[in-house]
Amino acid sequence: MAEPSYPDVRGGGSLILAYQVRNKKVLVVGGGEVRTSAFDDKDSVSGFVDAAHTDTQVAAGRIVRLLEADANVTLVSPRSGLNPEVAYRAAQKQVIYHDRVFEPSDLDDPAITMVMTAIDDPEASSRIWKLCKERRIPANIADVPPECDFYFGSMYRDGPLQIMVSTNGNGPKMANIVRRRIEGSLPPNIGDAIAKVGALRKKLRQVAPGNEQGPKRMKWMTKVCVQWSLEELCDMETEDMDRLLESYDPDEVPSFQKVRSGLEPGEWEFDGSFGWSCVI
């Protein structure tokens, strides 16, 4: 009997997840473009007296990503150092903003899910990271890979579709180049197709509720996605979904053309899709 073949384990990677932070609290430290104090300069007993320059693009970009993931973002940074985009987010109350320098007590809130820093002083950032470790809070210290519990990759998004390319901290620019190559190879309407597949799945759960239907639902949806083209999935309308769902019980997937024809399932055999010939 042949030995089973299994894939080799290749260490050194990251566990890439779609982490749901909806309604969860995330602390961002830094959000400007001029040199500001990262820590309270009165906290000299603990040694937090370093200056730290907050990185413009990092702070703004990460705040946007968090907001798009529906997180509750708390930003700590002096107002005098905010860059225009971050200042706009604060003015629009898209984030909970504290106009001051970071204080160790900012990490005392048990609701904090993760911490991100965007300051270019490695020593100051490391101190925040150590505080996070003491409190077992996952942290990302910008531009310091060894002090990151998680990384940001180069992201492509089209509606519900999200693709992240990560180099595990080795080459952020390379991640961007690879992401652009992937983006250029995708059809322009793939986001719409995925959104409509999601709508079809919701309707299917209403037609066939219950956990016992789970395996059949998955198998049937897989056949739909394989047999219908992306263009057809994108063109699918509500009426098409309703007609298509009539084929769920018999576990069939008719063509898009048959569904769009408006005929009943029993009439599909005679819809003329294979052509007619007349011999005289």
Which residues are catalytically annotated?
Answer: 143
d(CA 117, CA 52): 11
DSSP the chain: -PPP--PPP--S---------TT-EEEEE--BSSEEESB-TT-TTTT---EEEBPHHHHHHHHHHHHHTT-EEEEE--GGGB-HHHHHHHHTTSSEEE-S-B-GGGGG-TTEEEEEE-BS-HHHHHHHHHHHHHHT--EEETT-GGGBSS---EEEEETTEEEEE--TTS-HHHHHHHHHHHHHHS-TTHHHHHHHHHHHHHHHHHHS-SGGGHHHHHHHHHHHHHHS-HHHHHH--HHHHHHHHTTTTTT----HHHHHTT--GGGGGGSSTT------
